[in-house]
Structure 1
Amino acid sequence: MQRKETLYLKIAKIIEEQIQNETLLLGDKLPSIRSVQKLHNVSINTAKQAYLELESRSLIESRPKTGYYVSKTSQRKLALPSVTAIADAGKGKTPEDLISKVYDTIAKPDVTQFALGLPGRNFLPLAKLNKGVIKAIRSRSDSGTDLEPVQGSEHLRREIAKWSLVLEGKVTEDDLVITSGAMNAIYHALMAVTKPGDSVAIESPAYFGILQAIKLLGLKAVELPTHPVYGIDLDALKKVLPAISACCFVTNFNNPMGFQMPDENKKELVRLITAYNVPLIEDDIYGNLYFGAERPKPCKFYDEAGLVLWAGSVSKTLAPGYRVGWIAPGQFKDKIIRQKLVQTVCNPSLYSDVIADFLEHGRYDHHLRMFRNKLYANYLQFQRAVETYFPDNTKISQPKGGFMLWLELDKRICTEDLYDAAGAMNINFAPGRMFSQHDQYNNCMRLNYAMEWNDRAEEGLQKLGKLVKNSI
């Protein structure tokens, strides 16, 4: 097994170097997988793994029925963001004030909205969802007024289990609990595996919703150094594992960095938490928004001890306001069901029916294919615009999926001050300080590219870039 992993990474490195030294140019067609197999005298699977590795890093892209090509994102002009040394972080201002400030503006239609972590309406199948609601009302004798089981709609749980092919049958309908979105699932998970005063390991920068949940429950967040391509520093995690009660990570298309943790790292992460008997809350809300050839596996796939609590939802992909999420909590299922009975009793049955119907009849898969294509096209537009309008020393993340872009600007720039200046021009973004409990990432920002790409969006980025240049 080790030999196979070494071989495919070696092949991938050779091709990567050819792209970097421009032996292979943007748009060039790569040799077929069969040719790579013969050239390197390896198995078909090893050749495929090499191409999947390159695709997961956005260096190459597959085109149906024609093969693999050097991708448009391979010719980056700007560097990747830095890995922050968390130990040196100050403990001054906390982000609550800034989070409230940003959220106060999100409902204003005249604002060019780069801050909101939600897909624009043009990305959503609104007409089909409306039909689904009407169908659900007509097909229920109670018109949706009866209570569901506490664990959630059996129909919806069965469809989620059937649809989660990436887990290869390791999750059944009985393993799942329906929640009010992914954040509700994460909150339940934190409650189930910790007590006030416990420490929870998180990435840094981290999604501010997770930071707020940890604080609200009286827990301590332990921020760990995080690489913009490979994710959490596993050596740093290993050092703190004896002193923490849980981990909470976004392993696929992390918010805000956009990285996809490699499979080898996920396996090692699961091995570590199992050895130390520390639960992992895995927020996999973006896992279906991949740019590569296949959906990346979550850590849950490698979990044999029931220590991974796998959370997902349709809030980022289909219907944000429906608040339909789920969790496969492993050995903590009964505790989470008891918590849910006390907190919310059950979920709205109509929305469960609509989502179950979407899953059952293939409409969700069709929608996701269209969604991913739009997201990837938008990512390329945003990358081009940042390279064109922002200073040359701007650092930009390289997401493998999802819809978040993380920018690291000149150290002299404070994005909180920039936020006020941009707000005066009706432009919104998420300042970096929101993504840490410490007073750090002050020269960073997060942009959401799941919005309609038009002249207004481009003009917003142009103005934002000009503001950055004028602030240096």
Structure 2
Amino acid sequence: MKKDYIYQQIAQKITQLIRNGVLKPGDKLPSIRTICQEQGISMNTAKRIYLDLESKALITAKPQSGYFVTKAGHRQLPLPAASKPSGKDSRSIPDQLISKIYGGTERKGVTFFSVGVPAPELLPVAKLNKCLLKASRELKDSSTGYEPLPGNEKLRHAVARRSFMWGGSLSPDDIITTNGGMNAISLCMLALTKPGDTIATESPLFSGILQLAQSMGLRVLELPTDPQTGIDLKALKAVVKNINLCLLVSNFSTPLGCCMPDEHKKAVVQLLDQHHVPLIEDDLYSDLYFGASRPSSCKAFDKTGNVLWCSSVSKTLAPGYRVGWVSPGRYKEQLLRMKYVHMLSTSPLMQEAIATFLENGGYDLHLRKLRDTLHTNCIHYTNTIAAHFPEGTRISRPQGGLSLWVELHKDIDTTELYEQAIRQKISISPGRMFTLQQQFDNCLRLSMGLPWSEQLQRKLQQLGRIAGNL
């Protein structure tokens, strides 16, 4: 096993002991020498483990005494309440609010807690540029020609090879490339629905999907969702006979950050298959896990081809490249037809470059660094919010992904919070953006994709003060 994996696994175990209260504030940790003997690791690896825990403010070193658990590691706020949308199809989307927030991302000097992608500083830009240059030299016609309709063959091979990590067994022929993850979802919805059909989703849900569904004339049925385990299975079972399609973000969804347990994924796949309801699985965030291994996907439990598995590198590697894919199962011909009608071809250059990056081993190295950064950010955000946000604040506990969901006192309107915060050059995503119903007015989403710094911490503290004055 590689040193990186050993260090991450041991650090994760100690983190869980602190989070679960087994190790309490003030408790002394084993010495570096003892850790080496107990775990069979080198002195350098042991030091790296403790440095990592220090960077997360979970432990502190005392000269001549050793390492001790800090109080910061125990600042846990209550979880947000499970959502309880009405049982009716949803209609009202705050388009003006969404346009205002996402339309101002070019403003200088603003801290964008509202942008749900990793900051450029966290991405391997120089290595990606080299892959682009290599692709432009090696592609036929210098990448000016059309690709085959299913998409770049090298990319499809790379995605298929990586599917074993989540329990899949895809072949290149099972995959169609797209212009990003949203394009994959759009093609699926176009292929499988007509105006007036009903689509069941979790609640809250990414605003772009809600807007897409409404633009297609679909009825959106938002279902109760737990902040840790995802969609309520009983609620889905109660409506399954009345829906035409189901769309779920199975792992580390935005904005809640919930992750469906394997038994829930399996049950959902079987239930929808029994009722001939296709499942679109939006699986953008699975590679951003904080634990020891990537969670499985719903597609891993699909025996009949009823799951359309959608993913991309937009949240992990290169948001602007717009490189995504879908494994549409038994709906492959419908998806190819939609791609031909609406796109004809995806970008050969971008897809070849991403395929090269996936193949040369750089992607896994990058992901390990990015996951560690996001996990550290999550702890810093959580501790800062616990210390500086008003009484009654609740916060999600994601085990991966880019999003934190914060629930404030019921009297605080986060749309008003946005208006006041943006005047102080702080941008957030009010909870009302993530639903078509009148709910989540006192909630907000914060992106953890910004590099942590003292300045970022001050901005988060400032946001807490603004919220406390509302």
Relative to the length of structure 1, the TM-score reads: 0.85
Contact 2:82 2:225 in 1 (8 A): yes
Q: CA deviation at 1:169?
A: 5.0
Secondary structure, aligned partner of 2:202? strand
Contact 1:403 1:449 in 2 (8 A): yes
Match in the other structure for 1:83: 82
1-structure distance, mates of 2:106, 2:357: 28
Letter in 2 for 1:202: T
Quick check: 1:461 aligned with 2:455?
Answer: no
Secondary structure, aligned partner of 2:74? coil
Letter in 1 for 2:465: K
Quick check: 1:410 aligned with 2:412?
Answer: no
Letter in 2 for 1:111: V
Q: CA deviation at 1:445?
A: 0.3
Letter in 2 for 1:359: L
Match in the other structure for 1:339: 338
Question: Taking structure 1 as reference, are residues 298 and 29 closer, same or farther at Cα in structure 2, changes over 3 Å only?
Answer: farther
Contact 2:89 2:221 in 1 (8 A): no
- The correspondence of residues 414-433 of structure 1 with structure 2, limited to 5 A, is 414-433=413-432
Answer with 227-236 or 93-102: which moved more: 93-102
Quick check: 1:297 aligned with 2:293?
Answer: no
Question: Taking structure 1 as reference, are residues 79 and 174 closer, same or farther at Cα in structure 2, changes over 3 Å only?
Answer: same
Letter in 1 for 2:139: R
Question: Taking structure 1 as reference, are residues 159 and 459 closer, same or farther at Cα in structure 2, changes over 3 Å only?
Answer: same
- The correspondence of residues 273-352 of structure 1 with structure 2, limited to 5 A, is 273-352=272-351
Structure 2 stretches lacking a partner, 5+ long? 1-13, 39-57, 59-67
Q: CA deviation at 1:143?
A: 1.2
2-structure distance, mates of 1:19, 1:88: 40
2-structure distance, mates of 1:29, 1:238: 47
Match in the other structure for 1:212: 211
- The correspondence of residues 51-62 of structure 1 with structure 2, limited to 5 A, is none
Q: CA deviation at 1:75?
A: 3.0
Letter in 1 for 2:298: C
2-structure distance, mates of 1:447, 1:275: 38
What is the count of residue pairs matched by the alignment? 425
Q: CA deviation at 1:432?
A: 0.5
Q: CA deviation at 1:253?
A: 0.3
Q: CA deviation at 1:109?
A: 2.6
Match in the other structure for 2:244: 245
Match in the other structure for 1:49: none
Secondary structure, aligned partner of 2:288? coil
Structure 1 stretches lacking a partner, 5+ long? 1-14, 36-59, 61-68
Q: CA deviation at 1:17?
A: 12
Provide Cα deviations, 1:324-349, integer angstroms capped at 9, x if missing partner.
Answer: 00000001111111111111111110
Contact 1:92 1:439 in 2 (8 A): no
Quick check: 1:120 aligned with 2:119?
Answer: yes
Provide Cα deviations, 1:178-219, integer angstroms capped at 9, x if missing partner.
Answer: 000000000111111211100000011111111011101110
Q: CA deviation at 1:140?
A: 2.5
Provide Cα deviations, 1:417-441, integer angstroms capped at 9, x if missing partner.
Answer: 1111001111000000000001210
Secondary structure, aligned partner of 1:460? helix
Question: Taking structure 1 as reference, are residues 134 and 90 closer, same or farther at Cα in structure 2, changes over 3 Å only?
Answer: closer
Contact 1:28 1:70 in 2 (8 A): yes
2-structure distance, mates of 1:432, 1:197: 26
RMSD between superposed Cα atoms in Å: 2.8
Secondary structure, aligned partner of 2:116? coil
2-structure distance, mates of 1:380, 1:281: 31
Quick check: 1:391 aligned with 2:390?
Answer: yes
Letter in 2 for 1:382: Y
Match in the other structure for 2:151: 152
Provide Cα deviations, 1:221-262, integer angstroms capped at 9, x if missing partner.
Answer: 100010001110000000010000011010100110001111
Contact 2:167 2:297 in 1 (8 A): no
Question: Taking structure 1 as reference, are residues 375 and 331 closer, same or farther at Cα in structure 2, changes over 3 Å only?
Answer: same
2-structure distance, mates of 1:140, 1:81: 50
Match in the other structure for 2:182: 183
Contact 1:72 1:380 in 2 (8 A): no
Letter in 1 for 2:163: S
Match in the other structure for 2:24: 25
Question: Taking structure 1 as reference, are residues 448 and 237 closer, same or farther at Cα in structure 2, changes over 3 Å only?
Answer: same
1-structure distance, mates of 2:127, 2:344: 29
Provide Cα deviations, 1:121-141, integer angstroms capped at 9, x if missing partner.
Answer: 111000001111111111224
Letter in 2 for 1:297: S
1-structure distance, mates of 2:282, 2:20: 37
Contact 2:307 2:328 in 1 (8 A): yes
Q: CA deviation at 1:18?
A: 8.9
Relative to the length of structure 2, the TM-score reads: 0.85
Match in the other structure for 1:161: 160
The percent of aligned pairs where both chains have the same amino acid is 44
2-structure distance, mates of 1:211, 1:157: 28
